[in-house]
């Protein structure tokens, strides 16, 4: 019903219906980092509630979403109080509404008409508190009054300075975000791991920043743009544009695309420019923020309990397309995850022509009830990935039937499995053509069978020449076949054949890890191999028997049982036995008769070793009492650096950790 015609009772009834939905959507967005609707749909409903409550203030309730800033803080992270509240911004969705806001400010404050226009970064609001120029605390906005302590996680973000260029006390506020490229990489990793993907970069950033394990945050390569401070006592800036420059001088990363505008025409030019260019940016934006440029005037204008009255966010209209789903195609990824893709009519969306959209996994299809023949609303999640938002029921054909999820692998025909801990369907056939190249590369890797010289390019060439069709066939390669390969001479052939022959005698845990069984890493492989002694015992073991081993949980146990219950896996093991690959556990870490220099030391290997592989070096070190780790920390006792050593060497030097070259290590080995 039009707002002008609605009565107070009707407004109250509508508001009561709207609030629970907004609260549910807000919880998904702010707390679970998993929204079920687009921002535009949430904004539209929220805007309607705001207007109802503005017309009839008597219907406002204390728990209304309009009375809250951001979300709650129900995570396990410690809580942080914001003495100066972190406010959210008011939104407008049309240039007419924006013009009303600008005209009102210009009318009330005619002597100061400058505005700073900034990009509205699609991320998570954070606060960074410094004392004497040192970072002492980082927190999320939370509900505006209480946030979450994310200090450990913030220390892993390169764009957050730990020490400022001046020893001042200050709280700086801004946005933490995930770049588009990192977002794509993260979702690809999660999809390969059978996990649900993030809906957009904003939720990926929020989920990454609010981790209990700071290493997870570090691995996701977040970034920041800072644009505000809690107070200005120790700063020289008198304008918002000047503040951004001063923040940059202090060591913060600020967005360089802001401009000072003096009227609505200039503001509109800025909006049009970045609405057109938003798809070309390396990060997501969902609008433009317009702020009164004078900091003194900002203080004078003030704020409501929720939003500053001197700033407004203009939200870009959603870019959507209406398309028909012609088919659903399933493809097998390198880890066996089988992913559905919608094949559609071509449509222009966010500056590109699209005809395909990922449907992620079976749960996604069933939850949204997507069917072939449906007409759907398509949008780009974070301006990157084409996503199906919903189907249009009024356009669904009368004879439409629910889509049947496949049960067989589209590549090899093997039965697909839906493991308990995953949302994805997975093909676990070790001979599936779609997975073989990646599996062979993993099988040959240093921590698996350690077949020196057998890298991805060579593996691809072996498959192209039809010289191998699984990992067992590697051991049937001969000299005459190998010397016919591109850039492969007599010596290369001899070295590879020797490396293959040497790998036959590896201990069982290397084979077990090399098989690429879901969730079975190097440590789990060793524990299982040592417990059961040989591959035959593992193949006969039940999930319960495997899970009973210390440090091996139910997820790993189920995965091992599922793998070895498959006839294709059993056939592969028999083939490996036939070509002479060892399937017995050998102790590769014997008790050292007497203490050595390396006993009890934590050692990191980095760079390329010339006279031995890093795998060989690691075995020797472990046999002589050392603990070989993959990362440099304050607990590291020694770093052994080969050629082209990179960040690990740099970190060791920074921490004053002893560094040996290969020659010094070899000298110690020969003592």
Report the DSSP beta bridge partners of residue 584: 534
Side-chain half-sphere CA neighbours of 393 within 13 A: 2
Which of helix, strand or coil describes residue 268? helix
**Number of Cβ atoms within 10 Å of the Cβ of 646:** 10
Closest CA to 527 of 494, 556, 488, 565: 556
Told to judge if 120 belongs to the known catalytic residues of this protein, a careful annotator would answer: yes
541's CB contacts (< 8 A; 6+ apart) are 532, 560, 561
In 3-state terms, the chain is what percent helix, strand and coil (to 5)? Answer: 40, 20, 40
CB 52 within 8 A of CB 6: yes
Closest CA to 304 of 71, 144, 111: 144
**Phi-psi map region of 512: left, alpha, beta (phi>0 left; psi -120 to 50 alpha):** alpha
CB 18 within 8 A of CB 49: yes
- Residues in the chain, total: 671
- List the structure tokens of 184: 């794509």
Helices (H) and strands (E) in the chain, counts: 24, 21
CB 588 within 8 A of CB 507: yes
**Number of Cβ atoms within 10 Å of the Cβ of 1:** 9
Place of tokens 């057109």: 276
**How many whole angstroms separate alpha carbon 38 and alpha carbon 59?**
27
At residue 219, φ and ψ (nearest 5 deg) are -70, -15
Report the DSSP beta bridge partners of residue 311: 291
DSSP codes, 328-379: EEEEE-TTSEEEEEEEEEEEEETTEEEEEEE--SHHHHHHHT--TT-EEEEE
Is the sign of the CA dihedral 580, 581, 583, 589 positive or negative? positive
**How many whole angstroms separate alpha carbon 518 and alpha carbon 252?**
42
The distance of Cα 127 from the centroid of its chain, to the nearest Å, equals 22
220's CB contacts (< 8 A; 6+ apart) are 178, 182, 186, 204, 208
Q: Where does 68-222 have alpha helices with state H?
A: 95-108, 151-154, 180-192, 201-209, 214-219
CB 566 within 8 A of CB 429: yes
Beta strands in 223-362 (DSSP E): 223-229, 259-261, 285-292, 311-315, 320-332, 337-349, 352-358
36's CB contacts (< 8 A; 6+ apart) are 25, 28
**How many whole angstroms separate alpha carbon 409 and alpha carbon 34?**
29
Please pick, among 24, 55, 107, 120, the residue that the annotation labels catalytic: 120
**How many whole angstroms separate alpha carbon 33 and alpha carbon 29?**
5
Closest CA to 403 of 364, 447, 451: 364
Report the DSSP beta bridge partners of residue 229: 172
Place of tokens 């588009």: 180
Q: Which residues have a catalytic role annotated?
A: 120
């Amino acid at each position: 019903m039009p707002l002008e015609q609605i009565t107070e009772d009707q407004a109250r009834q509508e508001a009561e219906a709207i609030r629970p939905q907004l609260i549910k959507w807000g919880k998904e967005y702010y707390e679970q980092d998993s929204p079920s609707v687009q921002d535009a749909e949430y904004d539209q409903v929220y805007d309607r509630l705001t207007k109802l409550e503005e017309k009839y203030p008597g219907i406002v309730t204390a728990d209304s979403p309009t009375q809250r800033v951001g979300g709650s803080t129900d995570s396990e992270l410690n809580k942080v109080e914001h003495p100066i509240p972190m406010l959210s911004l008011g939104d407008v969705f049309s240039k007419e509404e924006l013009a009303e806001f600008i005209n009102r400010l210009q009318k009330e404050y005619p002597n100061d008409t400058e505005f700073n226009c900034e990009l509205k970064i699609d991320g998570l609001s954070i606060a960074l508190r410094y004392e004497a120029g040192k970072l002492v605390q980082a927190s999320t906005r939370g509900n505006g009054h209480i946030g979450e302590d994310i200090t450990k996680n913030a220390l892993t973000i390169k764009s957050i300075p730990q020490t400022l260029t001046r020893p001042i006390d200050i709280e700086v506020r801004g946005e933490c975000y995930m770049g588009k490229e990192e977002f794509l990489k993260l979702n690809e990793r999660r999809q390969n791991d059978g996990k649900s993907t993030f809906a957009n970069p904003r939720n990926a950033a929020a989920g990454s920043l609010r981790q209990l394990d700071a290493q997870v945050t570090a691995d996701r390569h977040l970034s920041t743009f800072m644009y505000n401070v809690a107070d200005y006592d120790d700063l020289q800036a008198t304008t918002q544009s000047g503040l951004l420059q001063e923040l940059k001088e202090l060591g913060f990363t600020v967005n360089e695309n802001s401009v000072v505008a003096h009227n609505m025409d200039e503001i509109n030019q800025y909006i049009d420019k970045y609405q057109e260019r938003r798809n070309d940016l390396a990060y997501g934006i969902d609008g433009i923020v317009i702020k009164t440029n004078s900091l003194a005037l900002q203080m004078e204008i003030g704020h409501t309990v929720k939003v500053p009255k001197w700033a407004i966010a203009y939200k870009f209209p959603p870019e959507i397309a209406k398309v028909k789903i012609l088919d659903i195609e399933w493809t097998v990824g390198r880890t066996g995850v089988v992913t559905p893709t919608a094949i559609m009519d071509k449509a222009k969306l966010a500056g590109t022509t699209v005809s395909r959209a990922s449907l992620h996994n079976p749960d996604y299809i069933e939850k949204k009830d997507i069917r072939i023949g449906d007409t759907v609303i398509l949008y780009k999640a974070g301006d990157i990935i084409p996503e199906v938002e919903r189907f249009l029921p009024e356009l669904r054909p009368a004879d439409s039937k629910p889509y049947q999820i496949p049960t067989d692998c589209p590549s090899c025909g093997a039965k697909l499995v839906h493991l308990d801990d995953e949302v994805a369907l997975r093909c676990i056939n070790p001979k599936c053509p779609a997975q073989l190249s990646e599996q062979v590369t993993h099988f040959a890797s240093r921590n698996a069978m350690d077949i020196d010289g057998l890298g991805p390019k060579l593996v691809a060439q072996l498959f192209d020449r039809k010289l191998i069709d699984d990992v067992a066939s590697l051991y049937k390669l001969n000299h005459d076949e190998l010397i016919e390969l591109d850039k492969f001479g007599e010596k290369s052939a001899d070295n590879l054949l020797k490396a293959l022959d040497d790998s036959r005698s590896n201990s069982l845990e290397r084979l077990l890890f090399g098989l690429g069984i879901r969730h079975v890493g190097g440590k789990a492989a060793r524990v299982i191999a040592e417990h059961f002694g040989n591959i035959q015992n593992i193949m006969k073991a039940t999930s319960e028997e495997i899970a009973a081993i210390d440090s091996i949980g139910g997820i790993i146990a189920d995965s091992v049982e599922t793998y070895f219950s498959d006839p294709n896996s059993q056939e592969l093991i028999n083939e490996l036995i036939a070509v002479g690959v060892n399937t017995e556990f050998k102790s590769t870490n014997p008790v050292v008769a007497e203490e050595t220099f390396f006993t009890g030391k934590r050692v990191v290997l980095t760079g390329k070793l010339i006279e031995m592989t890093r795998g060989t070096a690691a075995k020797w070190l472990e046999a002589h009492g050392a603990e070989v780790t993959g990362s440099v920390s304050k607990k590291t006792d020694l770093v052994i650096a080969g050629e082209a050593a990179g960040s690990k060497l740099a970190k060791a030097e920074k921490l004053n950790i002893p560094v040996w070259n290969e020659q010094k290590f070899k000298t110690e080995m020969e003592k």
